[in-house]
Amino acid sequence: MSKYVYGRLELVLKSLMLRRGHQLPHTNSQPSSHTQAPSRGDRGPSAYLSSSVYRLNRSLPQRIRGSCFSIMFRNSYDSDNTTFSPQGKLHQVEYALEAVKQGESIPREAEEVVAHIPQRSTGELATYQKKLIRIDDHVGVAIAGLTSDARVLSNSMRQQAMSEKMLYGRPIPVARIVQGISDKAQMNTQQYGRRPYGVGFLVIGQDETGPHLFEFSPAGTAFEYYAHSIGARSQSAKTYLEKNFESFENASLPELINHGLSALADTLQQDKHLTIANTSIAIIGTPDASIENVAASGPAKRGFFRVWENDDVDQLLRAWRRSRGEPEDGPQEEQPQAEGQAGEATEGEGQGAGTTGEGAPPAEHAAGEDVTMGE
Amino acid sequence: MNHHPAAWGRPLPASASFDMYNPQFSAPKAAPAHQMPVAHTQQPLVTGTSVLGIKFDGGVMLAADNLASYGSLARFKDIERLHPLGPHTVIAAAGDMSDFQWLKKELNAILREEQALSLTDSHPSLSPSNIYDFLANLFYARRSKMNPVWNAVLVGGWDRVKAETFLGYVDLLGTTYSAPTLATGFGAHIAQPLLREAFEAKAGTDGKGPLMTQQEATAVLDDCMKVLFYRDARSMNKYQIATVTKDGVVISDSKSSETQWGFAEDLRGYGAQTQ
């Protein structure tokens, strides 16, 4: 059982935040300064995006960018959390950031935060690793990295959210709950004997000041974004988001979902495709009756955190493929022969079989099963 | 460090220290050999008398006199028992004045922290109902530890988000309630009927009619404070009125009521007569 969360992309698009009257971005990208989430109206979103990319690139030494552990060389300054290297780096913290990159990235759109997360199971008999966690009705996180650390941190967030609700009778402001875990994570980077948390979050939420999207990293930093993606191969998603974010402002919820799925699809490996088996979507924000049954869903009616996964994602995936002019059923993959294949549960074939269905009959039937073994 | 889920959220056991790698910061101090037994508040000492509150059209008014009594002695005669919290909330306290001073310090600290946090996230500060919920939790928790905050507090304010007035009562037992007119202590017996009469004259017995104007509310409070001075032996004829509207908090200067004591001349043993 892998201890890493192998989701694919976590993308977040903060379009509806833009919709609320913020100015369109102007392209004065700031140099990478490690400032906190800016006060409203100060800068355009492009500044955030580009500076976020800058931050990510510059924080890692060149030799470990793009990630394979085997090419990193160890040095004598990296075994101890409380020892700086001569270059002024804390290597343990940077290695913790690597753990986040092992997890896969998550696209998100704030306000209607659509987290598109590929799920993975280790086999036919195992459940999928849960990547979307509800902290409170108005706050959710998507995780990338060590799931055990994610569980502890998300539990701590839930306690904080609950405490604020009880003591003050209000939902906790999103920036503050993120600040809470950031402070907690920073403590682990400054004490001897403690290791940094090995998980990164994309935190989505909505409070009185509108929708928010934050990236939390094991270094104890938290930055706010209009759209973001973290994890493995997240750069392709970021590229897509940067290219398209101007249209997010006036996009409807279905359009935002399609953007997220497109960004997510950009990060997939060569022969992989988005299927109901490997995609899940979470949303916070005002519901859209065209894609959700508002009357039947309490959370949807109130704009609370809700997740679509497995079968529920099918309609959304179809709408997305239609919007790209692709066949609705998804790519037809090579059908493996029945004999001897039952034992194999390779993800590619599982997904392929799940999405292709049986050709002529409507694919709903096949799509109704999580993973069908190829016939 | 016990990370088992069953221990999540629980306080550390006495044997565990907060930081096992830096024990000098967290080692529990050895208990002194001869320790006084722990004693909690048994009785209030320096006390304030009743506080009144009333909602009017566009705001809330609270009234409290300027006296802090030491039993039957009128000890401190210029105490302000009305306290603004942020731009849109006022609290007024009856009961133990030292507990009230402690309460003011705690609430000011919380508000200051909120203001500092909102510098970065621009989140609006605590609304009157947030402050009220906090006080309710605080008072009930303290009473459950048999160490009450010996006060009866009225919280009045203007909720900017909901654009409506707020008026609530919390006391040392942790009892909470909310109504268009409120009064504590003696005021609950003497002033509340007068406040309700004035309120229902305009809003009707079901409370659905129009609220009174600011002038009418001031007049009712003035009248009630006068009656309380006549009838409450621990009161003083010098009081202030705090008004909260969407424009902010205004605490008036101290004022007094005109009172008639001439009837005492006709009673044997009172007035200037000698027999």
B163: closest CA of chain A, how far (Å): 14
Among A88-97, A177-186, A282-291, B17-26, name the one with the lowest average pLDDT: B17-26
What pLDDT sits at residue B34? 60
Contact B109, B157 (CB under 8 A): no
Which candidate in B41, B49, B245, B274 is catalytic? B41
A192 touches chain B (CB under 8 A): yes
- DSSP secondary structure letters along B160-221: TTTTEEEEEEEETT--EE--SEEE-THHHHHHHHHHHHHHHHHH-TTS-SPPPPHHHHHHHH
Nearest to B123 among A36, A175, A194 (CB): A175
Q: Cβ contact (<8 Å) for B123 and A152?
A: no
The residues, ordered by sequence, that sit 6+ positions from A263 with a Cβ below 8 Å of its Cβ are: A9, A11, A13, A107, A116, A229, A236, A237, A240, A241
Among A341-350, B25-34, B183-192, name the one with the lowest average pLDDT: A341-350
| Res B32 pLDDT > 60 | no
Mean pLDDT of A39-52: 33
Mean pLDDT of A124-149: 87
| Res B193 pLDDT > 90 | yes
Q: How confident is the model at residue A67 (pLDDT cuts 50, 70, 90)?
A: very low
Contact B98, B132 (CB under 8 A): no
Note the pLDDT tens digit of each residue in A189-237. 988 888 899 999 999 999 988 889 999 999 999 999 988 988 888 888 9
What pLDDT sits at residue A360? 39
B7 touches chain A (CB under 8 A): no
- Is the pLDDT higher at B144 or at A340? B144
CA angle A68, A69, A74 (to 5 degrees): 140
Domains (range + CATH), chain B: 48-256 (3.60.20.10)
Could you give the angle at which helices A174-187 and B97-121 cross, rounded to 10 degrees?
Answer: 90
What pLDDT sits at residue A43? 35
A170 touches chain B (CB under 8 A): yes
CB atoms inside a 10 Å sphere around CB A73:
8
The CA distance from B267 to B53, in Å, is 35
| Res A363 pLDDT > 80 | no
- Is the pLDDT higher at A104 or at A229? A229
| Res A277 pLDDT > 90 | no
Contact list in A for residue B117 (CB cut-off 8 A) is 173, 175-176, 179
Q: Cβ contact (<8 Å) for A37 and B120?
A: yes
The CA distance from A277 to A128, in Å, is 9
Sorted by where each begins, the domain ranges of chain A are 91-122+130-324
Tell me if residue B41 is catalytic. yes
Contact list in A for residue B137 (CB cut-off 8 A) is 166-167
Share of chain A above pLDDT 70, in %: 62
Nearest to B121 among A155, A175, A192 (CB): A175
What pLDDT sits at residue A65? 39
What pLDDT sits at residue A22? 34
Share of chain B above pLDDT 70, in %: 88
Contact list in B for residue A192 (CB cut-off 8 A) is 21
Q: How confident is the model at residue A328 (pLDDT cuts 50, 70, 90)?
A: confident
Q: How confident is the model at residue B129 (pLDDT cuts 50, 70, 90)?
A: very high
What pLDDT sits at residue B225? 98
A3 touches chain B (CB under 8 A): no
B120 touches chain A (CB under 8 A): yes
Contact A291, A226 (CB under 8 A): no
Share of chain A above pLDDT 90, in %: 22
Q: Is B161 exposed, middle or buried (0-12, 13-18, 19+ CB in 10 A)?
A: exposed
**Residue of B163, B195, B161 lying closest to B179 (CA atoms):** B195
Q: How confident is the model at residue A117 (pLDDT cuts 50, 70, 90)?
A: low
Q: How confident is the model at residue A74 (pLDDT cuts 50, 70, 90)?
A: low
B91: closest CA of chain A, how far (Å): 16
User: A with B: how many residue pairs have Cβ under 8 Å apart?
Assistant: 54
| Res A106 pLDDT > 70 | no
- The chain-wide mean pLDDT, for chain B, equals 90
Q: Kindly give the residue spans of alpha helices, DSSP state H, lying in B63-127.
A: 97-121
| Res A304 pLDDT > 50 | yes
Looking at residue B27, what DSSP letter applies?
A: P
Note the pLDDT tens digit of each residue in A339-359. 434 333 333 333 333 333 333
Mean pLDDT of B235-252: 97
Mean pLDDT of B178-206: 96
Contact list in B for residue A152 (CB cut-off 8 A) is 3
Nearest to A176 among B19, B121, B126 (CB): B121
A190 phi/psi in degrees, rounded to 5 = -130, 15
B26 touches chain A (CB under 8 A): no
| Res A16 pLDDT > 60 | no
Mean pLDDT of A360-367: 42
Mean pLDDT of A56-68: 36
Among A36-50, A318-332, B67-81, name the one with the lowest average pLDDT: A36-50
Note the pLDDT tens digit of each residue in B94-109. 999 999 999 999 999 9
Contact list in B for residue A209 (CB cut-off 8 A) is 121-124
Contact A100, A196 (CB under 8 A): no
- Tell me the two tokens of residue B9: 């959220």
Among A331-335, B56-60, B105-109, name the one with the lowest average pLDDT: A331-335
Q: Kindly give the residue spans of alpha helices, DSSP state H, lying in A131-250.
A: 147-168, 174-187, 234-244
Interface confidence (ipTM) of the complex: 0.81
Mean pLDDT of A246-258: 86
Q: In chain A, which residue's Cα lies nearest the Cα of B113?
A: A176
State the fold for domain A91-122+130-324: Glutamine Phosphoribosylpyrophosphate, subunit 1, domain 1 (3.60.20)
What pLDDT sits at residue B81? 97
Q: How confident is the model at residue A373 (pLDDT cuts 50, 70, 90)?
A: low
